[in-house]
Structures are given as structure tokens and as C-alpha cells.
Structure 1
Amino acid sequence: MSDSNKSIWWGYLPDEILTHIFTFLPIKSIIICTSVSKTWKSLIQNPTFISTHLHHSHTKSQNLFLLLNISRNDREVNALHKEDDDPDFTEYTSFESPFHAPAPGLHEVVGTCNGLLCLSYSLPNHANEIFLWNPSVRKFLQLPSPNVTFDTHGKSCKSFGFGFDPKTNDYKVVRILSILRSCDDFGMSRSVVDVYSLSTGEWRMLSASASLPPTCAITSRGPPAFANGALHWIAVANDKKRFVLVFDLGDEVFRQILLPELPSYAGKMMWNHVSAYGNSTVGFQRGIGIGQINIWVMKEYGVASSWTKFSHQCPSLGMPSPYPVGFRRNGEVILLNIGLELVSWNPDSQDIKNLEINGYLDTFCGSYVESLVLFDKATKGVVTY
């Protein structure tokens, strides 16, 4: 069959068959297909197809693992690694950020969901530059500035979160802003909660922020865990008790989940952060100067009595100050060692494998899926690079 006859044959395929074929193509091939014809481009940039492709990407066998802010040849890069049935942790691809922080050390990962990354760059007590970025399709969007800033309300401490609201099929960025005289003066603070919606392109100040405990402060290191349609932080009240602060992206309300009560001899252990492992919520405790990690899993979501200690680090690991970064799909934990080397630790066997990757204090890891999110928004401020 000649090339011209092939083109005619493709041209007569029903839209349903074309979109089914597109669903099984790699991202790069799908993007090339948008240049074939206006009809193909319209089919691929249809929000329904983007959603269908995302669902297929979640269910197919290849799973990827994202490492953000790692060091290679004294340069900061980002990488995707193969996960399933690959003990060598083979790199799938690497990519550099299309934008740069205003100054070193001001880069913050807010979160990742459905192939979309949320990043924040900020100067202390000043407005943040917040981006949504899809490296798979080489597009990003800079969010507008929230209404409440340092210039309008003075000094503040802030925490961000990012996730997907399945009830409205929308991506949301949450900012909790504690306005105070100093970042240690929790009792004098008042909180403002803003939510950015990708579908509207605007920030909203929530009246539900009144349900945020007025005398609590977020102590989590790194981004909150996104699981079960909600964001999760470690927070502390005035009585020094720590709990999980939960923000439901659908209902847009806060609630609290108690953390396990610890015996008095565990005073050198402190709650570090919460992480997501599948649909489970996991709490990390880190020893203060004793090289110890406890992992707690909430067996029944939202039920404080279901917290179960998953593992306890043994001194034989030989790491004086390991920091847990996150989970791999196989249940192993990525640790950042005192020399900023990344290692993979199996809590069951206690085996450790050096990944031969150097990180930074703000290195982020998590499961990743390639998607077309943002690919249909070229006329709404999304930048192609």
C-alpha cells in the first residue's frame, strides 16, 4: 500500500477508533500526532481524551518514580526512574526545570499529582511565584499572586499543598498563611486559607478557614501528603501535642486526626512528616541525634486507633542521621544520608542499597505518571518551552 493510500485510510477511520489508538501511544508520539491534521489535534486536545489517557496511564504496567532536585555534575536536575521489576532503578529520562529560583535555596516542591508538578519560589515574607508544570508535554503555568501578601498583611508563615479534587475534576493549590509578629509566636497568629482552582484560574479566600485551629502551627518538613482526596500535614498545638491536620479538597474543610500516644522514654523521637503510600497515610518519626526512624501506618483511614507501627530502624544501618524522603512502590523507603546520598531501605529485611544519586536538603521523590494535563490549555496562560 502506498503512503498516499495509507493517509486516505487513516483519514476515514472513525473518531472513536482514532482516540482508542491514541490512548495506547507514548506521550511523545501523541504530541507528534497533533501536527498531522486539525482533526487529530482537536481529538487529542479534547479534555475527555486527556482524562481517558490519564486513566489508561494509571492502569498500564509501566510505573515511574520521580526524583526532583538531585545533583549531577554540580547541576540540579530532575529524573524519572523505572520502578516495577527493575532492581537496578534504571533512569527512564531526565529533564531540567524551565525556570529558576530567584536565589539558591528558595525552591520548594509543593506536590505532584497526575503528571502535574507544583513548585514554589519565594523570598522570605514576600510573595511567592507558584508554577504548575507538566514536563511530559513541556508546558507550565504561573499562577497569579494571592490577594493576601506581605505587602498587605505583614509578616507571615505559610504552607502550601497541591492535589486533585475528584468531585469537581479540578486541580487545586492550597495556601495556609499564618499572620503573626514572629514565626515563633503561634499564639498571636491568625490564619488565612486561600485555594487556587485550575478550572477558574483564580484564588479564593475560604470562610472555612475559621475551622482551622487558631493556635496550631504546621511543623511538617516538605510538602503535605496527598491521599484520599485530602492534604495532610503534621501540626502542633499550644499544648505541644502534635496531630495530623487534614484539608479535604472536595469539601474544603479542615479536620484533625490524632497521632499515636508515645511512651515517656520516646522523648527523643519527633514526628517529622506524613507521606502517602498508595491510598494509605504514613507517619514518619525521626530520632533526634540517634539515627532512628519509626514508621506508622494508618490501617483504617481517619481512625486514630488504627495507627500501627510498621517498622523500627536498627542501629546496624550505620547512618547517624538518615532523613526519610518518601516511599517507592515496592514499599522501600528513600533515605537521605548525612552526606546527602540517596539510599533505598527495605524496612522488612533491613537491607540498604546505595542508589548512587546525590541529593539536596529539598530533594523530593514520589510515584509519577506521564500525562497530557495542561495540553488543552494553550490559550489560558500556559507557556510552551
Structure 2
Amino acid sequence: GHCDGIVCLCDCGGNIILCNPAIKELKLLPKSCLPNWGYSDVGIGYDPKSKDYKVQRISCDGEEIYGDRLVFFPPRVEIYNLSTDTWREIKSNCLETEATFLWPEDFEMYWKGICYWLGYEQPKEFESYFDRLEDEKKKTVVFFFDTGDEVFHSILLPD
């Protein structure tokens, strides 16, 4: 993603780099406080309240098979503050309900203190491993992160 000319780049090894091409400056962020297991997605935004840039990393740490059932672990979220050069984990309650999780697919954009992702909502549990491949069990959502209050919100797309 990008914000105010700063581009946020990441690789499959968990390294995250902020790049400002206009002034030819790179910053390798410190290692994340969360394990780099399954899938993760990052976004960047500017918090007008604290006047700080924040990188959000949503980590979806995988699944386990219990008997015949496939159970997903809840997503975990951490925030990097440019001013302090530190990561901290925040609650991700907004990314799950009693029966579902929200998963990011791609960071889409930042606009006026809000970071937006396109993603989907899916059940936390499936009857079998192969049930998870059925697209009708997933619902496409736009979810967004307010950099000021550090809370996620979501909107289901119409059917």
C-alpha cells in the first residue's frame, strides 16, 4: 500500500520496508512482534490525531484439523508507529464474530485517516478440509481501519 508518497513493501519472509521514492529513502522496519506463520497483509496510513504514520499487519496464522473438522485460528493484528519505531499488538475483536472471521485479501487504499481492504468473511469452522474451497461459504466485504481509534469496521458487499 501507499500513503502520502510513502510506499509500504513486504516480502514473504516478513520483512517490511517503507520507501519514499521522492527523496530516495528506505526504512527497514524492526521485526514484528507476531510470529510469521500463515498469511499476513499490511497497510499504511497516517493518523491525523497523533500526527504519526502507522503500519497495520493482520496475521492469519493458519488452521488445524480436529477429527474431521477444519478450524481456523483468529486473526491477530499489530500496529507499527513510525514515531516510536515499535510494534504492538492490538485487539482484533472486530475481525471476528461468534461464527466467522474477516480475512484480508489485499490492502486497497488509504484516505483521510482510514485504511481500506477488500477481503471476505468465512466460517471459523468447516465440516471437512474440502468444504473450505466452496466459494458460496465466503462473503466479500470491505473492511477498514480507523488509524485514530485503531478499530476495524466492515461492510458486506451486496449479493
Instruction: Provide the TM-score with structure 2 as the length reference.
Output: 0.77
Note if contact 2:47-2:147 (Cα within 8 Å) is conserved in structure 1.
yes
Matching residue within 95, 116, 126 for 2:6: 116
Deviation of 1:201 (Å)? 0.5
Structure 1 stretches lacking a partner, 5+ long:
1-110, 262-385
Cα distance per residue 1:42-94 (max 9 Å; x no partner): xxxxxxxxxxxxxxxxxxxxxxxxxxxxxxxxxxxxxxxxxxxxxxxxxxxxx
Does the residue aligned with 1:211 lie in a helix, a strand or coil?
helix
Cα distance per residue 1:74-125 (max 9 Å; x no partner): xxxxxxxxxxxxxxxxxxxxxxxxxxxxxxxxxxxxx1111211111223xx
Structure 2 stretches lacking a partner, 5+ long:
124-136
Structure-1 separation of matches of 2:8 and 2:118: 20
Task: Summarize the Cα distance change of 1:117–1:243 in structure 2 as closer, same or farther, 3 Å threshold.
Answer: same
User: In the alignment, does 2:110 pair up with 1:216?
Assistant: no
Matching residue within 121, 131, 145 for 2:17: 131
User: In the alignment, does 2:150 pair up with 1:252?
Assistant: yes
Letter in 1 for 2:90: L
User: In the alignment, does 2:141 pair up with 1:243?
Assistant: yes
Cα distance per residue 1:258-305 (max 9 Å; x no partner): 2123xxxxxxxxxxxxxxxxxxxxxxxxxxxxxxxxxxxxxxxxxxxx
Larger radius of gyration: 1
Matching residue within 166, 169, 173 for 2:48: 166
Counterparts of 1:1-385 in structure 2, within 5 Å, are 111-123=1-13, 128-150=14-36, 155-181=37-63, 187-207=71-91, 209-213=92-96, 215-218=100-103, 220=105, 222-237=106-121, 238=123, 239-261=137-159
Does the residue aligned with 1:225 lie in a helix, a strand or coil?
strand
Runs of 4+ more than 3 Å apart: none
Partner of residue 32, structure 1: none
Structure-2 separation of matches of 1:186 and 1:144: 33
Task: Summarize the Cα distance change of 1:249–1:219 in structure 2 as closer, same or farther, 3 Å threshold.
Answer: closer
Task: Summarize the Cα distance change of 1:235–1:199 in structure 2 as closer, same or farther, 3 Å threshold.
Answer: same
Structure-2 separation of matches of 1:200 and 1:230: 21
Aligned Cα root-mean-square deviation (Å): 2.1
Letter in 1 for 2:9: L
Note if contact 1:186-1:217 (Cα within 8 Å) is conserved in structure 2.
no
Deviation of 1:205 (Å)? 0.5
Identical counterparts, % of pairs:
35
For this pair of structures, how many residues does the alignment match?
A: 139
Task: Summarize the Cα distance change of 1:186–1:177 in structure 2 as closer, same or farther, 3 Å threshold.
Answer: farther
Letter in 2 for 1:218: W
Letter in 1 for 2:8: C
Note if contact 2:107-2:118 (Cα within 8 Å) is conserved in structure 1.
no
Partner of residue 98, structure 1: none
Letter in 1 for 2:84: T
Letter in 1 for 2:95: L
Q: Which has the higher contact order (CA 8 A, sep 6+)?
A: 2
Deviation of 1:186 (Å)? 7.9
Structure-2 separation of matches of 1:243 and 1:170: 27
Structure-2 separation of matches of 1:219 and 1:173: 15
Note if contact 1:162-1:173 (Cα within 8 Å) is conserved in structure 2.
yes
Deviation of 1:199 (Å)? 0.7
Question: Which is strand-richer, 1 or 2?
Answer: 2
Task: Summarize the Cα distance change of 1:164–1:144 in structure 2 as closer, same or farther, 3 Å threshold.
Answer: same
Question: Which is helix-richer, 1 or 2?
Answer: 1
Note if contact 2:5-2:22 (Cα within 8 Å) is conserved in structure 1.
yes
